[in-house]
Amino acid sequence: MIPRIIARLDIKNSNLVKGIHLEGFRVIGDPMEFALSYYNQGADEIMFQDVVASLYERNQLFELITHVAKNIFIPITVGGGIRSLDDIQRILHSGADKVSINTQAIRDPNFIYEAAKTFGSSTISLNIETIKNESGDYLVYSESGREETGLELVNWINKVQDLGAGELIITSVDNEGTGKGFDLDLMNLVNDNSFVPVIAHGGGGNPKHIFELLKECQLDGVIVASMIHYDAIISTDLSPKEEWGNTSFLNNPSNLITHSGSLQSIKKILHKGGIDVR
């Protein structure tokens, strides 16, 4: 198994944004430019997440995906606001290869079965947002980590796999956007209870974090966002406009995820450490 390095782009309206714990989004730049840059750097896949889809009860990325798919020839996953089989059909018709489902699967678990039966399990990813409670148990959340579902993580994993989910994207809300590293206990727990591909998301701040994760856990992929976004801003011409208010943030020495690493540096470190990547 060769793990995939997946670039995630959170989209709000027409902008690439990034937050911490799935909230407090800052505008970063033009998602088209960043997606093309990551494709040229060697990303294995790209994931687009509409972070305001729940607010509008629909995914608004159809036009973006149509344009991106004409210039990027790696798998594309799209998530956010997917409520029906028609939504999935439209996203796939726009040029995406997979969809990521969360809230609708919690509302109606049978939706997973119907989606997998209609489009194939390999097309259906489950994005599972989880938070660790005071007792040390991992619970499932929805609506970008804001809504409790009453579901326990392992029970939910078992259920969605049985219903036909072809891939699990595990989002640690506690670590997401912080740059403090991945929750290795969480990923080992998921690994021990999964028979479909597992993708880790949330906490990567530098290439060493990804190396530690893949050494510790046998995963099918890792999602990166903050660490490559800010590296791209600093190292390329994808600079934010002054009015977006990112300059002071990028120059803050306490920011764990600035000057952190490109996709090339990530893969170089993994290769040196004996982890085979594309």
pLDDT in tens, 80-97: 889 999 999 999 999 999
Q: What is the pLDDT of residue 179?
A: 83
Structure confidence at residue 236 (pLDDT) = 58
Is the pTM for the entire model greater than 0.85? yes
237 catalytic per annotation: no
Residue of 50, 129, 176, 231 marked catalytic = 129
Look over the chain and give the mean of its residue pLDDT values, rounded to a whole number. Answer: 86
Q: Is the backbone of residue 157 left (phi > 0), alpha (psi -120 to 50) or beta?
A: alpha
Task: Tell me the pLDDT band of 76, cut-offs 50, 70 and 90.
Answer: very high
Is the pLDDT assigned to residue 256 strictly greater than 90?
Answer: no
Band (40; pLDDT cuts 50, 70, 90): very high
The pLDDT, as a whole number, for residue 120 is 98
Query: In terms of DSSP H, where are the helices of the chain?
Result: 31-41, 53-56, 62-69, 85-94, 103-107, 110-119, 153-163, 184-192, 207-216, 226-235, 247-250, 263-272
Active-site position among 10, 87, 167, 231: 10
Handedness of CA 84, 127, 26, 138 (dihedral sign): positive
Give yes or no: 134 in active site.
no
The first and second tokens of residue 124, run together, are 């259906």
pLDDT in tens, 151-160: 999 999 999 9
Confidence of residue 57 (pLDDT cuts 50, 70, 90): low
Q: Residues 175-232: pLDDT tens digits?
A: 987 888 999 999 999 999 999 999 999 998 888 999 999 999 999 999 998 888 776 6
Under 8 Å between Cβ of 54 and 75: no
With tokens 């470190």, the residue in question is 269
pLDDT single digits (tens) 228-254 = 877 666 555 565 554 444 445 555 544
How large is the average pLDDT for residues 50-67?
Answer: 76
Q: Tell me the domains of the chain and their CATH numbers.
A: 4-272 (3.20.20.70)
- Mean per-residue pLDDT for 94-109? 96
Residue 259 predicted with pLDDT over 50:
no
